[in-house]
Structure 1
Amino acid sequence: MEIRSLFQAFELDLMESSAYEARIHTNTFFEMVFILTGNGVQIINDHRLPYSMDKLFLIFPQDKHGFEVAETTKFFFIRFTHDYLKTHSREWIQKLEYIFHNYNHLPGCILKTITDKPLVRALVEALIREHINQQPQQQEVVKQLINTIITIAARNVLLMHPVLSDQSKVNTGWALLSYIHQHIYNPEQLKAEKIAEYFNISRTYISEYFKSQTGQVLQEYIITYKMKLIETRLQFTDLQINEIVNEFGFSDASHLNRLFKKYKGISPTAFKKSFVGSYN
């Protein structure tokens, strides 16, 4: 299978195709695809779903993907690397992490809000104009437009799987998991008594209830989810170990090292070094 790489922080590409071929491949970078015109079938990880105009797709590194074109299609690609992510604030990266670990990687448009489709189209058309016309501060404008599209995508993922408000709490497995995802950077809110209070469940019953709804042990799930996010931190940012310790509420670096080694089999430092130069 073909593996495609990117040799700059980000790349924009406008392509029109009438060919009917899947062209299944994987990337070493992230990709967003907007359909300007045309229709056909999108394929991700052996799943298939029709695509049409004004659809936006998220494709992650190592996803097997391609498009079968039924009607001549104009695609607009936004591609960006791990290095591109490193240039942004911690808060912005946390938004991306929510996408990375909650989006199901199945085919289908990420835009679930009707009003966001014309908004993203306008942003894409602005990107195309900036890409074609050489204007002052072009790169800065392009980056702002890209970041806005990514933020809109993050919002739509959140709307697909919302944390329920106090007025509409439903004690489902997803609501429990979503609560943890939203509070993963706040250890105080992840205590069993806080979760029990939020869902109006007995403190002595919350662990049993969590397992009955999700099939997983509460504290093990919290730790595993933290470790996945820390993997993302180690790959996508230049944060030092002590900064990660503070951000995720570990008592000290040895506590993080012990848990991460149990989870991945190697230390956080060794894990981070294994990615140095991997995506150049």
Structure 2
Amino acid sequence: MSKNQYNFYKNRYIYGMVRLTMHTPLEVVLKKMEAVAPVDCQNNFFQICIVVSGQGYLGLDSHRTAFKPGSVILLTPDDVHHFELEQPTEFLMVRFSSSYIRAFEWGKMNQMECILYYARHFTGCIMRTPDDNVLVKSIVTSLLHTLEHPDLYQEDVIKHFVNALIVIAARNIEKAGPPAAAENTDKKLLDIIHYIEEHIFDPARLKAAEIGKAFGVSASYIGQYFQRRSGETLQHFITQYKLRLIEHRLKFSDMRVNEIALEFGFTDESHLNKYFKKQKGVALTKFRKQYTSVAVKAGSDS
């Protein structure tokens, strides 16, 4: 497979912002960018950007953080971002859809989905573990070599490297914990978060009493401990994580509402709709239509 087959995406403009749409589950491309006036962009896919050379700043929502060679940046479909380059810069862009994540049989499937929730509070390099920096450097070198030397097995080789990169990204995001967590998040808090991720589709297992039982403590203690260490209540964390996953399915998948309800353990579509409307102030179908109408307008204006 030629490297050009990994580089099919279409620019769509909406209110002065570039909307990048990917039409394949996975793309890997080495992109050279010049130091020009920055333009806000929003993707309909996840993108891991590894800085190969050059430096500058990433503008993400209201934040601005520096990057340099070796920086690993993760952008989600909701991120409005731009790059402010101080010099010509090369990025290795690894783009993948939610369908790509869900199609692969990860050993820790729900941990992979933590990307959907945690990534948004990272405003710069996501790497937190020095040993993982060594692994990422090796993977990047291997990906660049594979792109430069295409053969019959290129697609499979690239997928293996990309999957390793996604796992490493998820591991570092998890180690950072929730947005308000202490810098050196302790193991117990991470274990609680992992438990929630593992059982996010089973409401009965997400009750404070059940979580406390899993860790040998009372419901009140587990709630107090989580809030003290993370900066938010246990229930708020669970609700926001679940909503993030539901929103993502509504925006970027063709799943029916009743299928989403079944996946997350709601009794039926009506039950899920009441839950979603209470939290977001808008019905499920209206939320999906609003997002779809924006995407359609972007396409018609391109």
Name 1:94's counterpart in structure 2. Answer: 110
Name 1:23's counterpart in structure 2. Answer: 38
Structure 1 residue 153 displacement after superposition: 0.3
Q: Classify the secondary structure of the residue corresponding to 1:33.
A: strand
Report the Cα distance in structure 2 between the residues aligned to 1:27 and 1:92, rounded to whole angstroms: 28
Q: Which amino acid aligns with 2:248?
A: T
Structure 1 residue 274 displacement after superposition: 6.1
Q: Classify the secondary structure of the residue corresponding to 2:50.
A: strand
Report the Cα distance in structure 1 between the residues aligned to 2:282 and 2:106, rounded to whole angstroms: 25
Matched, 1:53 2:73: no
Matched, 1:189 2:201: no
Name 1:234's counterpart in structure 2. Answer: 250
Report the Cα distance in structure 2 between the residues aligned to 1:204 and 1:120, rounded to whole angstroms: 41
Structure 1's unaligned 5+ residue stretches are none
Q: Is the 8 A contact 2:51 2:89 kept in 1?
A: yes
Matched, 1:123 2:139: yes
Structure 1 residue 154 displacement after superposition: 0.5
Report the Cα distance in structure 2 between the residues aligned to 1:144 and 1:75, rounded to whole angstroms: 20
Distance 1:16 1:261, change over 3 A: closer
Distance 1:61 1:22, change over 3 A: farther
Q: Classify the secondary structure of the residue corresponding to 1:5.
A: strand
Name 1:256's counterpart in structure 2. Answer: 272
Name 2:6's counterpart in structure 1. Answer: none
Structure 1 residue 237 displacement after superposition: 4.0
Taking the TM superposition and a 5 Å limit, the aligned residue runs for 1:52-201 are 52-82=68-98, 84-85=100-101, 87-89=103-105, 94-161=110-177, 169=188, 180-181=196-197, 183-197=199-213
Q: Classify the secondary structure of the residue corresponding to 1:157.
A: helix
Q: Is the 8 A contact 2:76 2:119 kept in 1?
A: no
Report the Cα distance in structure 1 between the residues aligned to 2:136 and 2:78, rounded to whole angstroms: 25
Q: Classify the secondary structure of the residue corresponding to 1:184.
A: coil
Distance 1:202 1:231, change over 3 A: same
Q: Classify the secondary structure of the residue corresponding to 1:115.
A: helix
Structure 2's unaligned 5+ residue stretches are 1-15
Report the Cα distance in structure 1 between the residues aligned to 2:29 and 2:110, rounded to whole angstroms: 27
Deviates more, 1:86-95 or 1:61-70: 86-95
Distance 1:273 1:87, change over 3 A: farther
**Structure 2 length normalisation: TM-score?**
0.70
Report the Cα distance in structure 2 between the residues aligned to 1:112 and 1:96, rounded to whole angstroms: 17
Q: Is the 8 A contact 1:35 1:76 kept in 2?
A: yes
Taking the TM superposition and a 5 Å limit, the aligned residue runs for 1:257-276 are 257-264=273-280, 267-268=283-284, 271-272=287-288
Q: Which amino acid aligns with 2:40?
A: H
Q: Classify the secondary structure of the residue corresponding to 2:116.
A: helix
Structure 1 residue 86 displacement after superposition: 5.7
Distance 1:233 1:79, change over 3 A: same
Structure 1 residue 141 displacement after superposition: 2.5
Name 1:3's counterpart in structure 2. Answer: 18
Distance 1:58 1:143, change over 3 A: same
The RMSD of aligned alpha carbons is 3.8
Name 2:10's counterpart in structure 1. Answer: none
Name 2:60's counterpart in structure 1. Answer: 44
Distance 1:125 1:216, change over 3 A: closer
Provide Cα deviations, 1:156-215, integer angstroms capped at 9, x if missing partner. 11111289xxx9647xxx987776455423433322323444677654677688778878
Q: Which amino acid aligns with 1:41?
A: Y
Q: Classify the secondary structure of the residue corresponding to 1:49.
A: strand
Report the Cα distance in structure 1 between the residues aligned to 2:141 and 2:60, rounded to whole angstroms: 26
Identity %: 34
Provide Cα deviations, 1:78-114, integer angstroms capped at 9, x if missing partner. 2234554564458776334311212244432111111
* Alignment length (residue pairs): 273
Name 2:4's counterpart in structure 1. Answer: none
Structure 1 residue 57 displacement after superposition: 0.4
